[in-house]
Amino acid sequence: MSSAESVKSVVSDPKLVEERRHQIIRAATKLFSEEGYYTTTILQIAREAKVSTGLIYQYFGDKDDILFLTLKQVLDTYENEIPRQIEGLTHPVERLCRAIWAYCAIVDAQRDATVLAYRSTKSLRADRRGLIMDGETRTNRLIEKAIRACTTGGFMRPINEHLLSYQCVTFAHAWALKYWAFRDRYTLAEYVDEGLQLMVEPFLTTKGKTVLTRIRQSAAEAVSEAPASAAATATAASAGVKSSND
């Protein structure tokens, strides 16, 4: 681990470090988002986390450490969760749709941290900004790889895979950045499906569209057969494709 990536802790128990840092990061994310990084103090973070300032310094060296781990936590979630979500899926179109869904779902679960990343990455010291940029590049490659599998398999026409991957990632981030505008108009599943119609469907070949239709039919059947309480889960698991009522 590089010196820039390392965040030292006085406490040696890994489980306790993880628990306390999660508690402090949760409080800091809220305050950084509401008050701004520069105006938020360690004392305010301590009060929000219901701990002492001295305890914070047992787990973090300074406020830059807290911001860095907050942003790194989001990127680590992308890197770990997206591959897990597409594991076992063999068809390129389904893997792409599920990857976009997974990205959006992670953003939804960490909306404040996503907004914070846009607002405050520049506040990190330079070497750590580079690490955050590298992490984002790696997660974007997960989407780019899924797009490339579609084009090489003949399911999507040739396209600038790099640029389209960034469009997909920006779309996912927009759920957090413009949540105030979207929350009363779309559920997350509806938002993702609209995104697939905008960013994936127009570039699918005939056989790619056939596969997507089949995926949607399977999703619709799963939703219609599931109890009402499980319908939303079934729709979400199908990467946000339309239900039989759409």
Residue 211 has pLDDT above 50, yes or no: yes
Q: Do residues 74 and 56 share a domain?
A: no
Distance CA 191, CA 196 (A): 9
Q: Classify residue 163 as exposed, middle or buried by CB count within 10 Å of its CB (0-12, 13-18, 19+).
A: exposed
Mind listing the pLDDT tens digit for each residue in 48-76? 999 999 999 999 999 999 999 999 988 99
Q: Do residues 54 and 92 share a domain?
A: no
Give the type of residue at 19: E
Q: Do residues 98 and 198 share a domain?
A: yes
DSSP for 107-124 reads: HHHTHHHHHHHHHHGGGS
Q: Give the H or E element holding residue 78.
A: helix 63-86
Asked whether residue 198 is assigned to any structural domain, the reply reads yes
Mean pLDDT of 176-187: 96
Give the type of residue at 91: H
Distance CA 119, CA 32 (A): 9
Average pLDDT, the chain: 89
DSSP 13: -
What is the CATH classification number for the domain harbouring 50?
1.10.10.60
Mind listing the pLDDT tens digit for each residue in 23-49? 999 999 999 988 899 999 999 999 999
Q: Does residue 220 contact residue 242 with C-beta atoms inside 8 Å?
A: yes
- In terms of Cα–Cα distance, which of 66, 86, 52 is closest to 22? 66
Full 3-state SS string of 176-219: HHCHHHHCCCCCHHHHHHHHHHHHCHHHECHHHHHHHHHHHHHH
Q: Do residues 125 and 151 share a domain?
A: yes
Distance CA 137, CA 242 (A): 30
Asked whether residue 188 is assigned to any structural domain, the reply reads yes
Mean pLDDT of 142-168: 97
Percentage of the chain lying above the pLDDT 70 cut? 89
Mind listing the pLDDT tens digit for each residue in 221-239? 776 665 654 444 444 445 4
Q: Do residues 213 and 128 share a domain?
A: yes
- In terms of Cα–Cα distance, which of 131, 108, 100 is closest to 199? 100
Q: Do residues 83 and 53 share a domain?
A: no
Q: Do residues 73 and 191 share a domain?
A: yes
Asked whether residue 245 is assigned to any structural domain, the reply reads no
Percentage of the chain lying above the pLDDT 90 cut? 78
Mind listing the pLDDT tens digit for each residue in 93-119? 999 999 999 999 999 999 999 999 988
Give the pLDDT score at 80.
92
Of 34 and 145, more confident: 145
Q: Do residues 197 and 232 share a domain?
A: yes
Q: Do residues 29 and 111 share a domain?
A: no
| Domain containing residue 32 | 7-61
Q: Do residues 154 and 227 share a domain?
A: yes
